[in-house]
Amino acid sequence: MSAPAPQPPRVAGPETQPWQRLRELTSMTGARQMRELFAADPKRFEHCSAQAANLLLDYSRQRVDTEVLATFAALAEAVGLREATAAMRRGEQINTTEKRAVLHVALRQRAGQQLGGAQVERMVLAERERMLDFAERVGRRFKTVVNIGIGGSDLGPAMAVQALQRYTEGAPRLAFVSNVDGCQISDLIATADPATTLFIVASKTFTTQETLANARAAREWVAGALGEAAVPDHFAAVSVNTAAMNAFGVHPDYRFEMWDWVGGRYSIWSSIGVSLAIAIGRDRFLAFLDGGRDIDEHFASAPWGANLPALAALLGVWNSNFLALPTLAVLPYDQRLARFPAYLQQLEMESLGKSVTQGGTAVQWTTGPVIWGEPGNNAQHSFFQLLHQGTPRAALDFLLPARSSCGRQGQHDLAIANCLAQAEAFAFGQSLDVAGSVHKVHDGNRPVSLLTFDALDPATLGRLIAHYEHKVFAQSVIWGINAFDQWGVELGKKLCAELVPAVTGEEAGAGPGATAGAGAGPAAVPEHLRPLLKVLRGWK
């Protein structure tokens, strides 16, 4: 990896002239009706869509016009987005609070690209080969493969295995266990045979409470049924923490390295994706990486007006900061993408949920929106009512493949028609003279982006993920925040560790006869929690 070069001070979007211009345009273009925007430009689809590889972004139903789009490009220039991207690709320490490079793009590189430098390339390619070899030779021999992990060590592989189910012929059954409460591991144990089950403990740190609790339960199950000596044959692990993998007893051939320059939520491209590799096989995993790389190259070089991740980022900024829409609903019209909204929740909200700039000052502007969503058709029959006619408003991302992901094109055509109908309804609404009743009026003018593609295959899934990763990065540059740390998750973890003894009753003075404020427990347990803890203990 190249030595960390001093970074030039960057200016955040709100401190630039294009931002001021967007403010002026808010009461002009931003206030216009979608009908007017379409009427003013009969070729609006051509002017407000862009394509990269097989991804087509149709943003004609966003409240933008040529002047707003030109100002978007000026904003991208003013914040130095091109240079920020180049700095990431060179392996500079752009994660300043953790003093780390950010090189998930290096995980999708081919030989000779030297992203992050020659040494990073060597390590990535060597570990990728080991992992793919293990996936094919060992992983696919088992009947059940269980990924134990949480957050970035779960959501990516779980989402992707479901998305690419069509490409998993001959693979073992894949299961994912993340929650600490023990129900998932318990359900799994009830339906699997220890002799034919492989557990993958996926944890960058190998210190995550939820993952360790589930891994211990799995280990007990295997050792109890097959004997302690069988444990190494049934556990693989992915981590930066060699000592912890040693302590757990993971066989050296069954452990895979990752690096501190891969953030958990950006790690599916690394050996954290081993469960995906087992599911879809070597060639398709490589195609998945290739898809991600297509978008890396596109993002690094395409002009702003044709650059999908940059456009999506700027549209998001426009909707959040100027049109005051604080949430983004992600609505895939494909059941196979059911976990995609959850995956994006971590990617976007852990990355952009910040209110301090890279320089350490409080931001004076809105940053990352709330991300939420469901498969679109199900959502139509639950929360779309509020989106159409309620008072809170949201921006909407629709994801739509042209081809069925399960070979039922006739039914998928219905999904396509639903998706387009909803996009139209959100954009254009329905006026009183057509509706005939005030209760049936739709104001419309809800901004919709349609991200369409031919089929949900491994390369396309790679492109979709990389598209959102770079969108998030571009937004972090515009907002002047660090997309790669996550300090906000630490406080809860620390408080939880302090509370565990009081909850389990292992804390001194917490026995059945203990009274509130008995005084012998750790000072960290607040007195006001003791009555509630006592009630909970009584119910156990």
From CA 196, how far away is CA 175, in angstroms rounded? Answer: 13
Contact 202, 157 (CB under 8 A): yes
Q: With respect to ligand F6P, which residue has the nearer C-beta, 434 or 489?
A: 489
Give me the catalytic one of 46, 99, 169, 381. Answer: 381
Decide if residue 211 touches ligand F6P (CB under 6 A): yes
Determine which residue in the list 292, 486, 502, 514 makes contact with ligand F6P, applying CB under 6 A.
486
Residue 204 near ligand F6P by CB under 6 A: yes
Work out whether strand 448-453 and strand 55-61 pair parallel, antiparallel, or are unpaired. antiparallel
Contacts for 198 with CB less than 8 Å, ≥ 6 apart: 138, 139, 142, 144, 145, 146, 172, 234, 235, 236
Indicate which residue of 493, 494, 506, 527 is catalytic.
493
- Structure-token match 């134990």, residue found: 148
Cα–Cα distance measured from residue 114 to residue 457, given in angstroms and rounded to the nearest whole number: 27
Q: Interacting stretch for ligand F6P, rule CB under 6 A, among 37-45, 79-87, 205-213, 351-359? A: 205-213
What tokens does 516 get? 């509130």
Q: Which among 37-45, 200-208, 413-421, 459-467 is the span making contact with ligand F6P, rule CB under 6 A? A: 200-208
Strand order in the sheet with 395-401: 49-52, 55-61, 448-453, 395-401, 327-332, 370-373
Stretch in the footprint of ligand F6P (CB under 6 A) among 99-107, 126-134, 149-157, 392-400: 149-157
Q: What string marks each residue from 435 to 474 as x (binds ligand F6P by CB under 6 A) or -?
A: ----------------------------------------
Asked if 496 is part of the footprint of ligand F6P (rule: CB under 6 A), the reply reads: no
Q: Is 168 in the site for ligand F6P (CB under 6 A)?
A: no
Binding mask 320-359 for ligand F6P (x = CB under 6 A): ------------------------------x---------
Q: Two tokens at 81?
A: 């987005």
Q: Tell me the closest approach of the beta carbon of residue 429 to ligand F6P, in angstroms.
A: 40
Please, what is the angle between helix 308-317 and helix 66-78, to 10°? 100
**Site size for ligand F6P (CB under 6 A):** 14
Considering only 152, 157, 309, 375, the residue that binds ligand F6P (CB under 6 A) is 152
Rounded to 10 deg, the angle between the 81-90 and 282-301 helix axes is: 140
Q: CA-CA distance, 347 to 104, in Å (whole number)?
A: 13
381 in catalytic set: yes
> In Å, what is the CA distance from 94 to each residue of 53, 86, 240?
28, 11, 20
CA distance 469 to 263: 11
Give the integer Cα–Cα distance in Å for 254 and 323.
51
Q: Reduced to 3 states, what is the DSSP secondary structure of residue 10?
A: coil
Among the listed ranges 202-210, 359-367, 384-392, 496-504, the one in contact with ligand F6P (CB under 6 A) is 202-210
Tell the smallest beta-carbon distance from residue 250 to ligand F6P (Å).
15
Q: Is 482 in the site for ligand F6P (CB under 6 A)?
A: no
Is 412 annotated in the active site? Answer: no
Told to check if 153 binds ligand F6P by CB under 6 A, we report: yes
Q: Which is nearer to ligand F6P, 284 or 339 (by Cβ)?
A: 339
Helices marked H in 170-317: 183-191, 209-226, 231-234, 242-248, 274-280, 282-301, 308-317
Residue in 2, 51, 144, 205 binding ligand F6P, rule: CB under 6 A: 205
For the bound state, the minimum distance from the C-beta of residue 343 to ligand F6P, rounded and expressed in Å, comes to 11
Active site residue 204: no
357 within 8 A of 400, measured Cβ to Cβ = no
One residue of 85, 203, 270, 404 binding ligand F6P per CB under 6 A: 203
Pick from 18, 91, 139, 151: which binds ligand F6P (CB under 6 A)? 151
Write out the catalytic residue numbers: 350, 381, 493
Interface residues toward ligand F6P, by CB under 6 A: 150-153, 203-205, 208, 211, 264-265, 350, 486, 489
